[in-house]
Structure 1
Amino acid sequence: MKWLPALIVLCLTASIARADMVDTSGMEPWEVCGLCHGLEGVSPMPRFPHLAGQRPDYIEKQFRDFRHGRRRNDGGQMETVTMEIEAGALARIATYFAEQPPPPPAPKKGPRFEQGRELFLHGRSALGACADCHGPSARPTGIDAPRLEAQHRDYLVKQLSDFADGMRSNDPDGIMQTVAAALKPAEREALADYLAATERRERDFK
């Protein structure tokens, strides 16, 4: 696998080299993604989200958003990679990762776990429950809301902060930007503590 060290470097470096410098011939399209996100969709690095057990429509949307420049909050790395993968392979990639067993939750609960649980399940004054869109049985019309349970804690904090600061803006109708901006930094940490340590139901998107 002569391409493996080069692609691992591609994942780890902050400034991304051109992806066409790496020979990916003979690889399945999800194998290219898997070198950063884990070959079974469980990423060993917090900066790259777990994809295993994620809703396939959400994976497809994020891929398209990166490819077309609607999402840019990762320093341009995903935009580069998605341009090197044929658009026709997207459904196969999304289905592959969606059908993998979900990632394990964090082994320890963070210090704000209970506060995060309350926010996620019930919300608070002037702020609805996150579970209304992201809960196991929630499928709101027109919203490709991802499963968040068992996701990397630091990744969750970063995404909430990016939404709040306007660095990420590919959410439908600006819903997440509004919600994240209403959250205090400690509340973002609390939600991440709760979600990271909470089990994700297997293939609950069906």
Structure 2
Amino acid sequence: MQTGSTKAVLHRRLQSITAAAFFLAAALAPASADMIDTSGMEPWEVCALCHSLDGNSRMAKFPKLAGQRPDYIEKQVRDFHDGNRSNDGGQMQAISTEVAQTDLSDIATYFSGLTAPAAILSGGSSEAAARLFNDGRDDLPACLSCHGQSDPALPLAPWLEAQHADYIAKQLYDFRDGKRTNDPDGLMQSIARQLTDEDIQDLAVFIAAQERPERTP
């Protein structure tokens, strides 16, 4: 966990990077790894250009990393670096080359140690989504059967609550359509293929509106 003074110093350092550099790195495609001079930055500050220093990104294109499971964060960066996962425009593939693989544990520890994001209340969730998330249905297990477990045997199932709804929906669509394939044993692809567009939209809104309970990473 970062101290208040450490966070303040890091915040001031992050502010020294211009907004123009941020938006160039986030928006241009294909992304280039040499768009931003990252010399002298802490490894997590590079990630904070898009995901924010407090781990609560302002744009749904970038997932919130605060309070996320460290093993999950580390795996995703490795998957982008190794070509096992891609994203629109290649930003993550490019930025993953800006951090040393030996720094991934420190990056994951930094973001996982931040306060988890607050729920995003929108009033648009449905009872069907609540049942699917908490209990499942005949053709699907409950989302919480993996994503709610603090079992050390499931370190790669991310916490979902309070994530951007649009980000959740996009990942489910990508799993369903075969655009994202880095899930262990293809489990999420199999589940997502059984979800309708309405299921995905309802689930995304419902999950974003849930407070995340305290869990052991």
Structure 1: any 5+ residue segments left out of the alignment?
none
Q: Which residue of 2 is the match for residue 30 of structure 1? A: 44
Task: Work out whether 1:74 is the aligned partner of 2:85.
Answer: no
Look up the equivalent residue of 1:31 and give its one-letter code.
Answer: E
Task: Work out whether 1:197 is the aligned partner of 2:209.
Answer: yes
| TM-score, normalised relative to structure 1 | 0.92
Displacement of 1:34 in angstroms is 0.7
Q: Which residue of 1 is the match for residue 183 of structure 2? A: 171
Counterpart-to-counterpart distance in 2, 1:92 and 1:10: 26
Instruction: Check the 8 A contact 1:52/1:98 in 2, yes or no.
Output: yes
Instruction: Check the 8 A contact 2:31/2:90 in 1, yes or no.
Output: no
Task: Specify whether residues 22 and 101 from structure 1 end up closer, same or farther in structure 2 by C-alpha distance, changes over 3 A only.
Answer: same
Structure 1 outlier segments of 4+, above 6 Å:
none
Render the CA deviation track for 1:22-66: whole Å, top value 9, x for unaligned: 211111111110110111100000110000000000000000000
Counterpart-to-counterpart distance in 2, 1:113 and 1:99: 32
Q: Which residue, 116, 123, 129 being the options, matches 1:116?
A: 129
Look up the equivalent residue of 2:112 and give its one-letter code.
Answer: A
Task: Say how many residue pairs are matched.
Answer: 203
Task: Work out whether 1:63 is the aligned partner of 2:77.
Answer: yes
Counterpart-to-counterpart distance in 1, 2:68 and 2:155: 14
Counterpart-to-counterpart distance in 2, 1:142 and 1:123: 18
Render the CA deviation track for 1:56-94: whole Å, top value 9, x for unaligned: 000000000000000013331101000111111100100
Instruction: Check the 8 A contact 2:64/2:117 in 1, yes or no.
Output: yes
The 5-angstrom pairing of residues 109-188 of structure 1 reads: 109-110=123-124, 112-135=125-148, 137-139=149-151, 141=153, 144-188=156-200
Task: Specify whether residues 25 and 45 from structure 1 end up closer, same or farther in structure 2 by C-alpha distance, changes over 3 A only.
Answer: same
Render the CA deviation track for 1:72-117: whole Å, top value 9, x for unaligned: 133311010001111111001000000000011103232x332211
Instruction: Check the 8 A contact 1:55/1:146 in 2, yes or no.
Output: yes
| TM-score, normalised relative to structure 2 | 0.87
The two structures, once aligned, show a CA RMSD in angstroms of 1.7
Greater displacement, 1-10 / 189-198: 1-10
